[in-house]
């Protein structure tokens, strides 16, 4: 194995960082140099970075009924990119206060879906688009009772219009295969549940 293959760059030099836009989201322009795998430093490079709050996404799951609860809402980022910008997703929200991810998970479940979680199961944490965004996602499975789930929810002050629907787990997984569920967090969580479903059902049923 070569030295380059074993090297771990860790040096970053920020030459200049300026705010280009600040609204609900923020865009920064950054000039920087970073260490390379051969031990040298890169030239000064220019990057724009989308500065976002970290996010929490939760897949509501009823282990007794083997159902997940999914939501549908309009997404401006999908407008013009797909025939239907009302996407099927999970409960999700931003950590925009001094909160722990678990607190956001419980709050968003109530606001977006009228659900209460009796337990949270951490799935993973990940960067959805590190090439241009600072966003970091905390992904969970939430134990819920899906028997009364449904209807339209959301906060009026945030113009939320969210339809809530229980899905048989196999139907939701098929929707991933068919491309009807096309957002990353939902795909990751449903595939994770497909891999770990037996263990999850045994564990959560006895909580």
Kindly tell me the burial class for residue 114, based on how many C-beta atoms sit within 10 Å of its own C-beta (0-12, 13-18, 19 or more).
middle
CATH architecture of the domain formed by 55-205 = Alpha-Beta Complex (3.90)
Q: Which residues are catalytic?
A: 158
Segments making up each domain of the chain, as ranges = 3-51, 55-205
List the pLDDT tens digit at each of the 207 positions of the chain: 456 667 789 999 999 999 999 998 999 999 999 999 999 999 999 999 999 999 999 999 999 999 999 999 999 999 999 889 999 999 999 998 889 999 999 999 999 999 999 999 999 999 999 999 999 999 999 999 999 999 999 999 989 999 999 999 999 999 999 999 999 999 999 999 999 999 998 887 666
Alpha helix ranges (H) inside 11-142: 101-113
Taking the C-alpha atoms of residue 92 and residue 107, their distance in angstroms, rounded to an integer, is 10
Measured from the Cβ of residue 169, the count of other Cβ atoms closer than 10 Å reads 19
């Amino acid at each position: 194995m070569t030295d380059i293959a074993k090297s771990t760059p860790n040096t970053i030099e920020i030459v200049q960082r300026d705010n280009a836009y600040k609204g609900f989201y923020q865009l920064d322009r950054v000039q920087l140099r970073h260490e390379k795998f051969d031990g040298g430093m890169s030239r000064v490079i220019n990057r724009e970075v989308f500065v976002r709050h970290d996010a929490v996404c939760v897949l509501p799951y009823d282990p007794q009924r083997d159902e997940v609860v999914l939501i549908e809402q309009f997404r401006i980022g999908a407008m013009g990119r797909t025939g239907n910008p009302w996407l099927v997703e999970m409960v999700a929200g931003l950590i925009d206060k001094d909160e722990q991810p678990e607190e956001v998970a419980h709050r968003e479940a109530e606001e977006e879906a009228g659900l209460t979680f009796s337990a949270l199961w951490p799935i993973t944490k990940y960067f959805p688009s590190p090439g241009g965004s600072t966003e970091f996602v905390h992904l969970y499975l939430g134990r819920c009772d899906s028997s009364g789930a449904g209807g339209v929810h959301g906060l009026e002050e945030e113009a939320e219009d969210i339809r809530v629907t229980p899905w048989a787990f196999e139907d939701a997984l098929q929707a991933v295969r068919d491309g009807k569920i096309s957002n990353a967090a939902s795909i990751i969580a449903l595939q994770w549940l497909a891999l770990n479903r037996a263990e999850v059902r045994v564990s959560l049923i006895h909580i």
